[in-house]
């Protein structure tokens, strides 16, 4: 071991004792000392995010620990390994003095913790940013904006921040909502004349986590405006905002420019689909959490079959396990192959597509599918069209934008509105509710 290695070992030793395992592994272990001249220690850092975080929170301690070891001042210089252009930094806001008083807690999924989150190439930046925010909410990267495809862990990571904040500060007020809930709460507040309470609920939290923020785009101007003011109130009080979206903020349709710029002023980071190694690790972790012993070759086989969506990957693992139990077979790759074949054909059989729904609804109401996809506003077509959209949302896994697309390129807010409208009519238990039930039965045939 040379002097630099001994020195760095000592520094690491210090942080291993000081930091949580996750923080240590994310921040300190990622550092690579490359040269030590006696007066200057050069360290390679893997990303801009690491560089900034180390400079802000650890650099001083690193220097102090080195001083302790060598009894002399040493300068520490950080060098970026490769600039990471998926990260966009923005300006940070100024603190304000208003005092936060009113708690409002929302339920977080207990499984969505950092401990249960597997870090891989596609999510490591998002994970590092999440840890940074969880360690020091209200400081850097406000808002933190995660974007990426379906089922890739955006909600998990966002809620992990909430869990960690509550773990370190049990009195913190963390509010988790989807943007749909925000919109509904706001509409209800106006309807019932309780906007003061609404403001209290949303503007006096320590951390606001809003999932699927893309649905705020295209919403009525008043909802976007309300969100803008909520955002500003929290931001100006140094309260952290974390957002998830299926796309980058500038790609969200009909999102007001001032919101786009707010969303981009902190840190935006994408999550991309996991590579094979990460998928295997996720399956292994999931098996461990559920107390299952599954051989590595079987895990590799499953991970090789499903490559884009972690939710689906988890579903596949569950069905393989269930198949093995029911058929009293060992969990070999061969059993997994059989299980996945029947899982896929069952899934294909039992889940009607949007096209199936459109055909069935059109037949039921004696209309053409083109009517459902068209724009005619007569009641005899509008209600069937809304029913078809409602069922597409209820029985397929398709996103709102995808459903809108399949209905002649309509906006996702139209689908959302249709869904709410039909859900209300079903509550009334009249003709529409009976029609929906009958169509559902037809779809099962
Ligand atoms: N890196 C990971 N490690 C362990 N589990 C993961 C990871 N990423 C995702 N998951 C799991 O995959 C499932 C889907 O994740 P999540 O709901 O967070 O995805 P999402 O990106 O928010 O999806 P959507 O866009 O549909 O809202 C969850 O059960 C989550 O725990």
Cβ(155)–Cβ(256) below 8 Å: no
pLDDT for res 150: 85
Q: Pick the atom of ligand 1 nearest to 157's CA.
A: 18
Atom of ligand 1 nearest to the CA of 112: 31
Check if the interface score ipTM surpasses 0.95: yes
Q: Does ligand 1 have an atom closer than 6 angstroms to the CB of 247? A: no
Atom of ligand 1 nearest to the CA of 212: 27
Measured in Å, residue 105 CA sits from the centre of ligand 1 at 22
Q: Given the CA of residue 310, which atom of ligand 1 is nearest to it?
A: 12
Which CA distances in Å does 383 have to 209, 379, 386, 415? Answer: 35, 6, 5, 12
Consecutive H or E run containing 405 = helix 400-406
Ligand 1 neighbourhood includes 393 CB (under 6 angstroms) = no
Q: Whose CA is nearest to atom 25 of ligand 1?
A: 150
Q: Is 402 in the pocket of ligand 1 (CB under 6 A)?
A: no
pLDDT of residue 426: 86
Res 406: pLDDT: 92
Q: Which of 274, 338, 260, 265 is nearest to 310 (CA)?
A: 274
pLDDT score of 275: 93
* Confidence tier at 120 by pLDDT (50, 70, 90): very high
Helix (H) / strand (E) element for 404: namely: helix 400-406
Give the sign of the dihedral formed by CA 356, CA 357, CA 363, CA 364: positive
Q: Is any ligand 1 atom within 6 A of the Cβ of residue 245?
A: no
Alpha-carbon distance 139 to 149, whole Å?
A: 28
Residue 99 has pLDDT above 60, yes or no: no
DSSP3 helix / strand / coil % (the chain, rounded to 5): 55, 10, 35
In 20-158, the DSSP E strands lie at 32-36, 40-45, 75-80, 88-89, 144-148
Confidence check: pLDDT of 358 > 50? yes
The proportion of the chain whose per-residue pLDDT surpasses 90, expressed as a percent, equals: 46
Q: Please report the pLDDT score of residue 350 as a whole number.
A: 61
Q: Omega into 207 within 30° of 0, i.e. cis?
A: no
Ligand 1 neighbour 117 (Cβ under 6 A):
yes
CB 87 within 8 A of CB 267: yes
Q: Which atom of ligand 1 is nearest to the CA of 285?
A: 4
Torsions phi, psi for 412 (to 5 deg): -65, -25
How close is the Cα of 159 to the center of ligand 1, in Å? 11
User: How close is the Cα of 234 to the center of ligand 1, in Å?
Assistant: 27
**Six-digit token string for 44:** 């390679």
In this prediction, residue 55 carries a pLDDT of: 86
Q: Are 47 and 87 in contact (CB under 8 A)?
A: yes
Q: For 76-85, 306-315, 328-337, 397-406, which range has the lowest pLDDT when averaged over its residues?
A: 76-85
| Better pLDDT: 415 or 308 | 415
Alpha-helical (H) ranges within 327-378 are 333-350, 354-364, 369-373
**pLDDT tier for residue 101 given thresholds of 50, 70 and 90:** very low
pLDDT of 290-302, one tens digit each? 778 889 999 999 9
Evaluate: CB of 155 within 6 angstroms of ligand 1. yes
Residue 119, C-beta contacts closer than 8 angstroms, at least 6 positions apart: 26, 127, 278
Q: What CA–CA distance (Å, rounded) separates 331 from 328?
A: 9
Q: Specify the residue with its C-alpha closest to ligand 1, atom 13.
A: 311
d(CA 362, CA 324): 41
Q: Tell me the two tokens of residue 37.
A: 């001249």
pLDDT at residue 104 is higher than 60: no
Please check if 154 is assigned to a binding site.
yes
- Round the average pLDDT of the chain to a whole number and report it: 86
What is the per-residue DSSP string for 178-203? EHHHHHHHHHHHHHTT-HHHHHHHHH
Residue 385 has pLDDT above 90, yes or no: yes
Give 261-305 as a DSSP string.
HHHTSSEEEEE----HHHHHHHHHHHHHHTT----HHHHHHHHHH
Contact 165, 159 (CB under 8 A): no
Residue 395: count of CB within 10 angstroms of its CB: 18
Residues 442 and 104: their CA atoms lie apart, in Å, by 44
How far does residue 116's CA lie from ligand 1's centre (Å)? 11
For 113-119, what is the mean pLDDT? Answer: 93
Asked whether the beta carbons of 164 and 81 are under 8 A apart, the reply is: no
* pTM of full prediction above 0.80: no
* Helix and strand totals (H; E) in the chain: 20, 9
Is the beta carbon of 42 within 6 A of some atom in ligand 1? no
SS3 for 207? Answer: strand
272 is in an annotated binding site: no
- Reported in sequence order, the residue ranges of 46-133 that DSSP labels E, i.e. its strands, are 75-80, 88-89
The alpha carbon dihedral of 388, 389, 394, 397 has a sign of positive
Mutate to test the pocket of ligand 1, among 114, 153, 154, 157 (most ligand atoms within 8 A of CB): 153
Is 118 touching ligand 1 by the criterion CB < 6 Å? yes
CA atoms within 13 A on the CB side of 104: 19
Task: Determine whether the shortest distance from the Cβ of 292 to ligand 1 is under 6 A.
Answer: no
Ligand 1 center to residue 309 CA distance, Å? 8
CA of 178 to the centre of ligand 1 (A): 15
Residue 18 tokens read as: 């000081």
Predicted local distance difference test score (pLDDT) of residue 117? 94
- Closest ligand 1 atom, residue 116 Cα: 4
Whole-number Å distance, alpha carbon 109 to ligand 1 midpoint, is: 11
Helix axis angle for 354-364 and 379-395, nearest 10°, is 150
Which of the residue ranges 235-239, 245-249, 425-429 would you say has the lowest mean pLDDT? Answer: 425-429
pLDDT, one tens digit per residue, over 168-192 is: 888 899 999 889 889 989 999 999 9
Provide the 3-class DSSP secondary structure of residue 440: helix
Q: Are residues 215 and 180 in contact, defined by beta-carbon separation less than 8 angstroms?
A: yes
Strand, coil or helix: 108:
coil
pLDDT of residue 348: 57
pLDDT digits (tens, 9 = 90+) for 26-84: 889 989 998 887 778 889 988 877 888 888 888 988 998 898 888 778 889 888 875 43
Strand order in the sheet with 267-271: 88-89, 267-271, 144-148, 240-245, 207-211, 174-178
pLDDT recorded at residue 25: 86
Candidate from 92-101, 103-112, 242-251, 349-358 with smallest mean pLDDT: 92-101
**Ligand 1 contacts CB of residue 310 (under 6 A):** yes
pLDDT at 96 > cutoff 70: no
In the block, residue with structure tokens 């109130």: 233
């Amino acid at each position: 071991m040379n002097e630099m290695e001994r020195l760095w070992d000592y520094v690491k030793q210090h942080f291993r004792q000081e930091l949580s395992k996750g923080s240590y592994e994310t921040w300190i272990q990622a550092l690579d000392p490359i040269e030590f001249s006696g007066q200057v220690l050069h360290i390679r850092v893997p990303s801009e995010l690491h560089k900034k975080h180390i400079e802000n929170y650890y650099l001083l301690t690193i220097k102090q620990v080195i001083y302790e070891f060598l009894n002399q001042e040493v300068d520490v210089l950080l060098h970026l390994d490769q600039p990471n252009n998926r990260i966009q930094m923005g300006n940070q806001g100024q603190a304000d003095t208003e005092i936060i008083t009113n708690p409002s807690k929302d339920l977080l999924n207990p499984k969505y913790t950092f401990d249960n989150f597997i870090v891989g190439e596609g999510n490591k930046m998002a994970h590092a940013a999440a840890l940074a925010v969880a360690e020091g909410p209200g400081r850097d990267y406000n808002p933190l904006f995660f974007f990426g495809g379906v089922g890739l862990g955006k909600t998990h990571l966002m809620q992990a921040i909430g869990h960690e904040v509550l773990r370190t500060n049990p009195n913190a007020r963390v509010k988790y909502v989807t943007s749909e809930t925000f919109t509904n709460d706001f509409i209800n507040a106006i309807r019932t004349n309780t906007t003061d309470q609404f403001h209290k609920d949303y503007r006096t939290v320590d951390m606001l986590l809003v999932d699927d923020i893309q649905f705020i785009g295209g919403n009525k101007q008043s909802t976007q405006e309300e969100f803008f003011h909520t955002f500003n109130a929290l931001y100006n009080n140094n309260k952290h905002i974390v957002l998830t979206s299926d796309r980058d903020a500038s790609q969200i349709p009909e999102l007001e420019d001032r919101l786009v710029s707010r969303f981009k002023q902190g840190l935006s980071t994408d999550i991309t689909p996991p590579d094979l190694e990460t998928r295997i690790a996720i399956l292994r972790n999931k098996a461990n959490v559920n107390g299952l012993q599954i051989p590595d070759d079987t895990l590799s086989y499953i991970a090789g079959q499903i490559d884009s969506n972690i939710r689906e990957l988890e579903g596949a693992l569950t069905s393989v396990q269930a198949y093995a139990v029911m058929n009293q077979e060992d969990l070999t790759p061969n059993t997994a192959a059989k299980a996945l074949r029947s899982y896929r054909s069952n899934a294909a059989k039992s889940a009607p597509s949007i096209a199936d729904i459109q055909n069935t609804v059109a037949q039921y109401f004696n209309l053409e599918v083109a009517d459902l996809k068209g724009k005619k506003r007569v009641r005899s077509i509008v209600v069937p069209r809304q029913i078809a959209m409602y069922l597409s949302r209820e029985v397929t896994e398709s996103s709102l934008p995808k459903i809108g697309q399949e209905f002649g390129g309509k906006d996702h807010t139209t689908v959302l509105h249709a869904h709410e409208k039909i859900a209300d009519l079903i509550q009334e238990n009249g003709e529409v509710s009976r029609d929906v039930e009958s169509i559902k039965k037809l779809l099962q045939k």
